[in-house]
Structure 1
Amino acid sequence: MKRNKIALAGAALLVAGITALAGCSSGSNPKSSSDTGSNANIDPTAIISVNGSEPQNPLIPTNTNETGGGKILDAMFAGLIGYAADGSVYNDVAESIKVDDPQHLTVKIRKGVKFTDGTEVKADNFIKAWNYGALASNKQLSSYFFEDIEGFVSTDTVYGSEGDLSGLKKVDDYTFTIALNKPASDFAQRLGYSAYFPLPDSAFKDMAAFGEHPIGNGPYKLAGADAWQHNVGINLVKNPDYDGPAKAKNGGLDIKFYASQDAAYADLTGDQLDVLDAIPDSAFATFESDLGKRAVNQPAAIFQSFTIPERLKHFSGEEGRLRRQALSMAINRDEITKVIFEGTRTPASDFTSPVIDGWSDSLKGADVLKFNEKKAKELWAEADKISPWDGKFQIAYNADGGHQAWVDATVNSIKNVLGIDASGAPYPTFKELRSKVTDRTIETAFRTGWQADYPGLYNFLGPLYATNAGSNDGDYSSPEFDKLLSEGISATDPKEANADYQKAQEVLLKDLPATPLWYSNVVGGFGKKVSNVKFGWNSVPIYSEITKSK
């Protein structure tokens, strides 16, 4: 993996004080939209077909924290800012974001921005959406992203807000202020993430219904009332009312939900799919020769791991810590990334990504991520003295995501080193796996990973491992880690912040709330009829830029 760095744009915002940028496939054609604007001029041959997956939940921005739903929401909504292919920030709905000091921001939005129901996007649409996402009783998966705003409560009994966030104040229809409960040096940089999208007034009349038929303000909109065919796909068309910097240069997106990556790759090579952002492991050795210049293999901000909940037998307290370390050192990451992934992965040395500014491959304690048969056996034996091991070790994964080969290789490595019964535990779909994880009914280890929401180290750490964080799937809690994380996000000097994040990771390397495996390149490809295909820093194609010949 080429270790390019993405600049920490949030630091530049603080220095300048102001953001300085203006501003199984569906096979069905899009139908007439029930939203405002006419699709009569949409050329069906200009629709781009892409791969996707069934969202875990209805499409509500603050309750979507997985890639299937996130890909759709990012196409349908526009935030205050957006992220270019290299991770740099540009203003979208925002006319300006002024960082008055590390705890206070003033946001001005552009006049005339519209939702696809014809209503104008105003300050209230952001304030109401964020208040909804933060309210504890709404139990939104991304509520953690509002934790730094005044009025958010985090106690043993309450996580979220008990009413409207006091830190959000409307100045006028197009201006609002944000007061933070502590300095958050990268807060302005976060505001392109889906949790911060605005919602139209109609959403609050029936949020469940809205989740099935979302009304956005972005480059694309639903192609009609039946555009989302569950477990099949979703059809989006170009939104003629979107006037931001990410205007679609095509007619829309036909997002197909595939049961396997092999099926998606077969469609790509058979000219039945225009863009694919995940090559199956069966094609790693051949896809670049198969596709030639249409193959994509580049670094991306993606981290892969597996998580073992502390609530599982043998994995709590000191015994659990020893067993996690033993399992980690029993995995031959070098061999797996070479044999299974054909060099499209790089063994992890931390919990973040080499393409993010501040990444380090020399953290204290990182030896726990290196293959060491002798040490693994010693640690496992120490754990057995506390409580003898019994049963089977399994890693759950979704069979529709191309994970079987690496899971099998990982558990075989563990089995050979530790001499225990170890195997994979497949679930048919990503949605089924994530449902078990989020409702805490899964009884095995499970695959985890992170595709960055914005290009900063904090995004790989806070949402996943901070106490009560929305994506903290293993329910990890460490006061020492939380303290270092808080110090890092409060630092206005990026170097100081990154130093704190590295210390925080050294705590994680002791506890292993997740077991880092490798960093992923984005590997994909595109068909012969499309041009201007670029993949962004976070592995997602820049859909709005793609053009298609008839």
Structure 2
Amino acid sequence: MRGGIAVLVAVLVATLAGCSGSGREAAEPGVLSVGLREPGSLLPAQAHTVAQRTIVGALWTPLVTVDQDRVEPVAAESVTSQDQVNWTVRLRPGMRFHDGTPVTAKSYVDTWQAVATERWPGSRVLTDVLRPVRMRAADETTVEIVLDRPFGQVPFVLASPALLPLPESVLSTRDWSGFARHPVGTGPYKMTEAWRPGNGARLTRFDAYSGRRPGKVRDIALRVIDDPMAQYDQVRSGDLDLATQVPKARHESMRKDFPDRHVLWPLSEVSYLGIAVADTRLAEAAVRHALALAVGREELERGPLGYQVDLAQGLAPPAVPLTQRSGPCRPCTHDPEAAKALLEQSGGLTGPVPLRFDADSAQGQWAPALAEQLRRVPGVPEIVPTSLPGPEFRALLANRPSDGLFTITRTLWSPSPYEALSGLAGPTGYADEGFDQMLAASEATTDPAEIGRLSRLAENQLLRDLPVIPLWSAHGHAVWSDRVFNVTAEALGGIDLAFVDLRD
């Protein structure tokens, strides 16, 4: 009888352990459980969300990393140029893909050609930022790049996830959708099974990795938990080790619930209010400055934005080094009285035709509230907000709106100040020779201090003319359990899972 009872108890214990699967996994030695939103594609040149970049960052090793004004070679051994037109990237020997094949210079060149050909979102770092006229593999470990002009920010651009190499197995088959579900990278962790939508996947240490080795984390259990509140609560209960989202309702309590176990970091997504300079009502810079001063960013941050943003200090977001200011620019501040006075001096915007306000439907959470703020200012006519599906809205911007206002949200693919400023005002129809000259001067130098100084001068010109009004940039949140430590994050890579460690 006792034997039967013992067996029954053992079965019950095993059953209960199985039913609490998430909690048991969270406490399993050597296994880090991570909650994140459904990432979609895991192709590096398509990765722009926190979930995507966190996973891609664990599966791949970048050529370089950037910390403020310092560029640190990682997969690259060196990045050099004598004239800023001809660049040489030498790779560290011994790097391998997770399928065992070597990472070569040809891997990079062929991948970059595929990125440009497929026109994935990250292709802009090649077509608009680097602008190479020739790329070739000089030997197994040497990439040679020839640009169309002197450009000293190449080392910053090489940190882009869009430039991570793909193995020959997918470059030859072009099975991008299959690869996006089961990527083969070069980093400290490999994906042991194809991604399961709505569920997740498991990452395991890559034994042949030649870079910095992870600590005690042997496996990473990636779990799809789209609800930020569920992620947060599961970390509090011990059923999850790391949450990559924090809901608005927990923004204030986060510091109390996780006093030394939370992190906020800037993301490379930045939003502006664009102004069609061809609209005669908006042609004067004073009118545009009035609209900028009418924007109550703090009110929107507390409301529809749910504390998920950093309010603008200038045009370049915090994710871009070398360009940051000690305080907010004047058009970044809220001053409704000054806005009213500027409109009165300029004659206002009154007229028979309402002011258009076009927004991408993805920005529907905050665009109507912003339009309502502008309506409150005396001298602003009726505003007609429209919400367009993504493809239609992008077509509108590509054709340069001829009147009214419109939202602009950009994803940056590198920490290059040039990328942050170039093309920013394009949809507005704005052009200025002085701005172009200052931006070109910032391109030609390699000295970080000079890059920053010249970039700020170019930015100042845009802030004076104000074809775009700075609003905010997104930031990420993470909280973790007390068995986890050494959690860091950065704009291009999300949470750096390769550095996260466990106490058990």
* Range of TM-score over shorter length: 0.7 to 0.9
Change (3 A) 1:251 1:383: farther
Report if aligned partners of 1:238, 1:248 keep a CA contact under 8 Å in 2. no
1:131 corresponds to = 113
CA RMSD in angstroms comes to 4.2
How many Å apart are 1:128 and its aligned residue?
0.8
Amino acid paired to 1:261: P
Q: Equivalent of 1:81, from 44, 53, 64?
A: 64
Amino acid paired to 1:543: L
Measure the CA separation in 1 of the matches of 2:420 and 2:385. 26
- 1:69-218 alignment runs, 5 A limit: 69-83=52-66, 88-135=70-117, 138-147=118-127, 152=131, 166-204=133-171, 205-208=173-176, 209-218=178-187
State the SS of the aligned residue for 1:167.
Answer: strand
Which deviates further from its counterpart, 337-346 or 99-108? Answer: 337-346
Change (3 A) 1:190 1:368: same
Residues 1:478 and 2:431 are matched in the alignment: yes
Which deviates further from its counterpart, 187-196 or 206-215? Answer: 206-215
Q: Equivalent of 1:280, from 236, 244, 247?
A: 247
Amino acid paired to 2:296: N
Report if aligned partners of 2:54, 2:496 keep a CA contact under 8 Å in 1. no
Residues 1:509 and 2:469 are matched in the alignment: no
Measure the CA separation in 2 of the matches of 1:292 and 1:461. 37
How many Å apart are 1:134 and its aligned residue?
2.8
Change (3 A) 1:44 1:447: farther
1:8 corresponds to = none
- 1:378-389 alignment runs, 5 A limit: 379=343, 384-385=349-350, 388-389=353-354
Q: Equivalent of 2:33, from 41, 45, 49?
A: 49
Q: Equivalent of 2:334, from 371, 390, 394?
A: 371
- 1:78-477 alignment runs, 5 A limit: 78-83=61-66, 88-135=70-117, 138-147=118-127, 152=131, 166-204=133-171, 205-208=173-176, 209-225=178-194, 228-245=195-212, 247=214, 249-297=216-264, 300=266, 304-308=270-274, 310=276, 317-319=279-281, 325-334=289-298, 347-353=311-317, 356-360=321-325, 366-377=329-340, 379=343, 384-385=349-350, 388-389=353-354, 396-397=361-362, 404=365, 410=370, 413-417=373-377, 445-446=406-407, 448=409, 453-454=414-415, 456-462=416-422, 465=424, 474=427
Q: Deviations over 1:112-145 (max 9, x none)?
A: 211112211111001111122233xx32322221
Total equivalences in the alignment: 467
Amino acid paired to 1:211: A
Which deviates further from its counterpart, 499-508 or 373-382? Answer: 373-382
Measure the CA separation in 2 of the matches of 1:80 and 1:246. 17
Which deviates further from its counterpart, 475-484 or 347-356? Answer: 475-484
Change (3 A) 1:77 1:487: same
State the SS of the aligned residue for 1:134.
Answer: helix
Change (3 A) 1:511 1:339: same
Q: Deviations over 1:145-181 (max 9, x none)?
A: 124799x5xxxxxxxxxxxx65223221122222222
Report if aligned partners of 2:61, 2:187 keep a CA contact under 8 Å in 1. yes
Measure the CA separation in 2 of the matches of 1:529 and 1:425. 48
How many Å apart are 1:352 and its aligned residue?
1.9
Amino acid paired to 1:131: Q
Change (3 A) 1:293 1:436: farther
State the SS of the aligned residue for 2:495.
Answer: coil
State the SS of the aligned residue for 1:305.
Answer: strand
Measure the CA separation in 2 of the matches of 1:538 and 1:60. 14
Q: Deviations over 1:385-433 (max 9, x none)?
A: 566216777674469xxxx5x7676455334436878899999xxxxx8
State the SS of the aligned residue for 2:115.
Answer: helix
Report if aligned partners of 2:32, 2:217 keep a CA contact under 8 Å in 1. yes
State the SS of the aligned residue for 2:489.
Answer: coil
Q: Equivalent of 1:529, from 475, 483, 487?
A: 483
State the SS of the aligned residue for 2:295.
Answer: coil
TM-score under structure 1 normalisation?
A: 0.70
Report if aligned partners of 2:69, 2:448 keep a CA contact under 8 Å in 1. no
State the SS of the aligned residue for 1:544.
Answer: coil
**Structure 1 unaligned spans of 5+:** 1-26, 30-42, 153-164, 428-432, 468-473
State the SS of the aligned residue for 2:152.
Answer: coil
State the SS of the aligned residue for 1:528.
Answer: coil
TM-score under structure 2 normalisation?
A: 0.76
Measure the CA separation in 2 of the matches of 1:397 and 1:222. 31
Report if aligned partners of 2:439, 2:454 keep a CA contact under 8 Å in 1. yes
Report if aligned partners of 2:361, 2:390 keep a CA contact under 8 Å in 1. no
State the SS of the aligned residue for 1:221.
Answer: strand
Report if aligned partners of 2:245, 2:477 keep a CA contact under 8 Å in 1. yes
1:7 corresponds to = none
Report if aligned partners of 1:113, 1:120 keep a CA contact under 8 Å in 2. yes
Measure the CA separation in 2 of the matches of 1:44 and 1:371. 50
Measure the CA separation in 1 of the matches of 2:231 and 2:384. 26
How many Å apart are 1:375 and its aligned residue?
4.6
How many Å apart are 1:222 and its aligned residue?
1.9
Q: Deviations over 1:20-53 (max 9, x none)?
A: xxxxxxx999xxxxxxxxxxxxx96533233433
Measure the CA separation in 1 of the matches of 2:60 and 2:444. 30
Report if aligned partners of 2:412, 2:419 keep a CA contact under 8 Å in 1. no
Measure the CA separation in 2 of the matches of 1:149 and 1:329. 32
Report if aligned partners of 1:99, 1:105 keep a CA contact under 8 Å in 2. yes
**Structure 2 unaligned spans of 5+:** 1-19
Measure the CA separation in 2 of the matches of 1:307 and 1:254. 40
Measure the CA separation in 2 of the matches of 1:445 and 1:232. 37
Measure the CA separation in 1 of the matches of 2:204 and 2:92. 23
Report if aligned partners of 1:149, 1:179 keep a CA contact under 8 Å in 2. no
2:5 corresponds to = none
How many Å apart are 1:354 and its aligned residue?
5.4
Amino acid paired to 2:315: F
Measure the CA separation in 1 of the matches of 2:368 and 2:215. 41
